[in-house]
Amino acid sequence: MKASVQKVLDRYKSDPTRLMDILIDTQSEVGYVPDAAVAQIARSLGISRVDVEQTLSFYHFFNRKPAGEFQVYLNNSVVAEMYGRRKVTEAFEEAAGCRFGQVSDDGLIGLYDTSCIGMNDQEPAALINNVVFTRLTPFRVREIIRDIKAGKKVEDLVVEGAGDGENAGKLVRSMVQNNIRKIGPVLDPEYIPGEALKKITRLTPEQVIQEIKLSNIRGRGGAGFPTGLKWEFCRKAQGIQKYILCNADEGEPGTFKDRVILTELPRLLFEGMAVAGYAVGATEGILYVRYEYRYLQRHLENVLAETRKKKLLGKKIMGKEGFDFDIRIQFGAGAYICGEESALIESAEGKRGEPRDRPPFPVESGYLGCPTVVNNVETLCSAVKIILNGGEWYKSFGTKDSTGTKVLSVSGDCKYPGIYEVEWGFSVNDILDMTGADEPQAVQVGGPSGTLIGPDEFDRILCYSDLATGGSLIIIGKQRDLLKDVVMNFTDFFVEESCGSCVPCRSMTVLFRQKLQKILDGHGVKQDIEDMIAWGPTMKINRCGLGQTAVNPILSSIKNFRHLYEDRIRKDRSFDGGFDLQAAVAESCWAVHRKPLTEENDHE
Amino acid sequence: MRKPVIATASLAGCFGCHMSILDIDEKILDLIELVDFHKSPITDIKKFGRKCDIGLIEGGCCNSENVHVLRDFRKNCKILVSVGECAVMGGLPALRNGIPVAECLEEAYLNGPTVHENTERILPNDDELPMILDKVYPCHEIVKIDYFLPGCPPRAELIWEALIGLIQGKEIKIPYEAFKYD
Ligand SMILES: Cc1cc2nc3c(=O)[nH]c(=O)nc-3n(C[C@H](O)[C@H](O)[C@H](O)COP(=O)(O)O)c2cc1C
Ligand code: SF4
């Protein structure tokens, strides 16, 4: 083991800022990261063991103990549940002979839950040793486990030919489907790499920024910050070295559009990063991709190499003196919070993905303390089209305050889940018609941190001034129990994904969940609803967007579906703690061999 | 006017909050002019003999007896106040909440470094003993609590002001510094 860890350390020149890569590669070599490797890595990087352990313990996909030769990570997003996850779970447990969270006795198979893996359009889906398995059924599960036990390699278990486009390519060989349902200027496949770069070599960086500003494009990652302004801030910031970071963490459950862009249009993305680099004066870019998309790694690395070969990256791009820009790919290791831009930067530096206090903003002090632009995948791709066709052209799409198009990820109870590139200004009804959603009870707009709306609001418009969205729409049919199946699932997600720095985010999320559970259990009273509404504002003091929006699923369902709560609470009393003495003492009675408490022998 | 009647109890607490009540020093003389104490460690009255106006609860609930006492207080007191961290949130005793009860009992009575005499490896199970709860509960998860006094313990002036406020029906302002749980 020592030698293979040393090889990994040499690969990254024992650079402590590359700790993420070092741990990922160590785990690939050894299967997990044992204590001895932690010590070796710490020594070689010249940092303390605790520093290594901090990073190691933060991320979901790192293992400190053997976690099974085949590690199954089954998505637990709400859409996976809708499409039969429970039965799939049971099939896995029965076939593997262990429960979720455990490893089978022979050490062959480990079963784990995981937050949305970006496959909401083809659920239930799982990662098995980083290979994606989509549309799982109990039958398929039994087949897969049987083949694993028979000694087959995981790559040979995928359904050959199921994937389309680049998914079927030699370097991906995945059964993932793109499900591109509607194409607009960004997803247009008629794109020729290099045209935008050729164009900008005739422009000054300021002119490039001017064009982006003219287009009025706002960030597509969710927050909607004007992209031209961001680039200008970074250009003007003091610093010899500057960086372009592309955010492909895509962790918001229900979002999978960046996955499709990474699969089909990586050249467009790399060109967008180079354009941004030229505009702000950065020579280095990092594409930060979520761990769940490791199946695209060889494809992306290959396209990078090919792009360099065509001189669209590297030194003297397009022959222009001083236009140097290159990109490296950084993988995460499983943490939704790393999509937050400052957490993403921390993670890319090899640390725990904990958001920073802001200001200073990344444009002043970002990656390694240098001015940094963090942009979403789609933002950078759109920038290429703006450069090619002009800001005025871009403004001809969309509405006044929301120009251009938005790539939507639509999933849930509809006939055609997938990717739709639409102009801003569409109503929710338009989307429902397009996707064949027959009997929607509600739509979750913008993922769990967004808004849950009911039919009387389906005429609302997707745009920054009405219903802003990072692009995820989850359609929830009539047959679902909104509170139990949806709101609880989202709340669990935030409890799981809070980084833990801020007290309200760490604790209040759990208290909200308890209250919701109490209501679901039939012990809720009116006060519980009032309490939750009253506590809501406390969440605004959290440091980042995760904590600030973590109870939105509950608050927005109370606001728009209050009757669902009212129907479940007890009207005959003003207090119900939900406490059951007999149940509470059962465990200790069992432990000391005492007669369990019953109503008859419970003497006050 | 009839003097308001106060009852107090320490459940899964350390009596620190009761000590803090005594820390109002000579004001205790004013207090007994203002109120009567009924069931309380201060009077050593064990059973409720009358209805009380204010109940002060120190500590959360870790066993069945705590639950019974707390419910008794709720039945007999018009206003119930959670006093201090343990009553409000479970406090130090709640540190065991992540650990299965059986493991806690084994550590305490069988495997702990200070266990020497328990050669027969007995876990206490006499019917006279209260039963241990699966976890330590804050009081408001068992009965309705009307007010919460923060602190570990709440400082003496805060308890004093809270009692005066309750007796006179005046709202009090709790200063930021009083929210201390160390
Ligand atoms: C909890 C959290 C998760 C986020 N996840 C993502 C993400 O997966 N992808 C993304 O582009 N932006 C995400 N963001 C927004 C980023 O912080 C940042 O605003 C964005 O990457 C900036 O790029 P843009 O201006 O191009 O949108 C997230 C924000 C928060 C608070
Ligand atoms: S709000 Fe939550 S996720 Fe964000 S920094 Fe605070 S604890 Fe971490």
Domain ranges across chain B: 5-95+132-179
A551, A532 in Cβ contact below 8 A? Answer: yes
The pLDDT of residue A604 is above 60: no
Domains: count for chain A: 4
The mean of the pLDDT values for chain A is: 96
The pLDDT of residue A165 is above 90: yes
Is A420 part of any domain? yes
- Segment B130-172, tens digit of pLDDT: 999 999 999 999 999 999 999 999 999 999 999 999 999 999 9
For ligand 2, mutation pick of A347, A352, A498, A510 (most atoms within 8 Å of CB): A498
- For an interface test with A, the pick among B96, B101, B111 (most A C-beta atoms closer than 10 Å) comes out as B101
A593, B125 in Cβ contact below 8 A? Answer: yes
- Segment A500-539, tens digit of pLDDT: 999 999 999 999 999 999 999 999 999 999 999 999 999 9
Same domain? For A141 and A187 the reply is: no
Nearest CA, atom 19, ligand 1: A223
Nearest CA, atom 29, ligand 1: A340
The pLDDT of residue A121 is above 90: yes
- The number of angstroms, rounded, from the C-alpha of A215 to the middle of its chain's C-alpha atoms is 28
What integer pLDDT is reported at residue B182 of this predicted model? Answer: 63
Question: Is some CB atom of chain B closer than 8 A to the CB atom of A86?
Answer: no
Same domain? For A241 and A324 the reply is: yes
Query: Which of A265-274, A422-431, A492-501, A594-603 has the least mean pLDDT?
Result: A594-603
Same domain? For A303 and A441 the reply is: no
Query: Torsions phi, psi of A172, nearest 5?
Result: -110, -50
- The shortest CB-CB distance from B133 to any of A584, A590, A591 is to A584
- Segment A136-157, tens digit of pLDDT: 999 999 999 999 999 999 988 9
Q: State which ligand 2 atom lies nearest to the alpha carbon of A547.
A: 1
Q: Is the CB of A18 under 6 A from ligand 2?
A: no
Nearest CA, atom 6, ligand 2: A502
Nearest CA, atom 10, ligand 1: A221
- The shortest CB-CB distance from B123 to any of A585, A591, A604 is to A591
User: CB distance A604–B127 less than 8 Å?
Assistant: no
Same domain? For A221 and A304 the reply is: yes
Q: What is the CATH number of the domain that holds A100?
A: 3.40.30.10
Is A547 part of any domain? no
Query: Which of A203-212, A364-373, B107-116 has the least mean pLDDT?
Result: B107-116
What integer pLDDT is reported at residue A603 of this predicted model? Answer: 59
What integer pLDDT is reported at residue B59 of this predicted model? Answer: 98
CA–CA–CA angle A333, A367, A34 (5° rounding)? 30
What integer pLDDT is reported at residue A597 of this predicted model? Answer: 80
Q: What is the CATH number of the domain that holds A468?
A: 3.10.20.600
Amino acid at A30: V
Grade residue B179 by pLDDT with cuts at 50, 70 and 90: confident
Among chain B residues, CA nearest to A515: B141
The pLDDT of residue B23 is above 80: yes
**A126, A160, A194 - which closes a domain:** A160
Task: Indicate the class that CATH gives domain B5-95+132-179.
Answer: alpha beta
Same domain? For A152 and A207 the reply is: no
Query: Which chain A residues touch B148 with a CB distance below 8 Å?
Result: none
CA Rg value for chain A:
25
Q: What is the mean pLDDT of residues A101-120?
A: 96
The pLDDT of residue A78 is above 70: yes
In a 10 Å sphere around its CB, with 0-12 CB exposed, 13-18 middle and 19+ buried, how is residue A161 labelled? exposed
Q: State which ligand 1 atom lies nearest to the alpha carbon of A545.
A: 31
d(CA B52, CA B34): 14
What integer pLDDT is reported at residue A555 of this predicted model? Answer: 97
Q: State which ligand 2 atom lies nearest to the alpha carbon of A340.
A: 4
What integer pLDDT is reported at residue A596 of this predicted model? Answer: 83
The pLDDT of residue A379 is above 90: yes
Q: What is the mean pLDDT of residues A304-312?
A: 97
Is A319 part of any domain? yes
For ligand 1, mutation pick of A341, A354, A542, A552 (most atoms within 8 Å of CB): A341
Nearest CA, atom 8, ligand 1: A250
Is A493 part of any domain? no
Q: What is the mean pLDDT of residues A6-27?
A: 97
Q: Is the CB of A332 under 6 A from ligand 1?
A: no
Q: What is the CATH number of the domain that holds A206?
A: 3.40.50.11540
Question: Is some CB atom of chain A closer than 8 A to the CB atom of B128?
Answer: no
Question: Is some CB atom of chain B closer than 8 A to the CB atom of A574?
Answer: yes
Domain limits for position A46? 2-58
Same domain? For A287 and A421 the reply is: no
Q: Is the CB of A498 under 6 A from ligand 1?
A: no
Same domain? For A260 and A339 the reply is: yes
Same domain? For A248 and A323 the reply is: yes
**A101, A126, A160 - which closes a domain:** A160
- A331–chain B nearest CA distance, Å: 33
For ligand 2, mutation pick of A352, A503, A505 (most atoms within 8 Å of CB): A505
CA–centroid distance, residue B8 to ligand 1 (Å): 52
Same domain? For A256 and A324 the reply is: yes
Same domain? For A201 and A106 the reply is: no
Q: What is the pTM of this model?
A: 0.93
Q: Which alpha helices (H) appear in A216-296, and where do they start and end? A: 227-236, 257-264, 266-280
DSSP per-residue string spanning chain B: -PPPEEEEEESBS-SHHHHHHHTTTTHHHHHHHH-EE-SBTTTTB-S--S-EEEEEEESBEEEHHHHHHHHHHHHHEEEEEEESHHHHH-TGGGGGGGS-HHHHHHIIIIISTT--S-TT-PPP--TTSPPEEEEEE-GGGTS---EEE-SSSPPHHHHHHHHHHHHHT---PPPGGG----
Query: Which chain B residues touch A578 with a CB distance below 8 Å?
Result: 141
- The shortest CB-CB distance from B131 to any of A574, A578, A585 is to A585
What integer pLDDT is reported at residue A94 of this predicted model? Answer: 97
Is A326 part of any domain? yes
The pLDDT of residue A440 is above 80: yes
The pLDDT of residue A222 is above 90: no
Angle between helix A488-497 and A552-560 (nearest 10): 160
Q: State which ligand 1 atom lies nearest to the alpha carbon of A255.
A: 8
d(CA A494, CA A504): 12
Is A6 part of any domain? yes
Q: Is the CB of A498 under 6 A from ligand 2?
A: yes
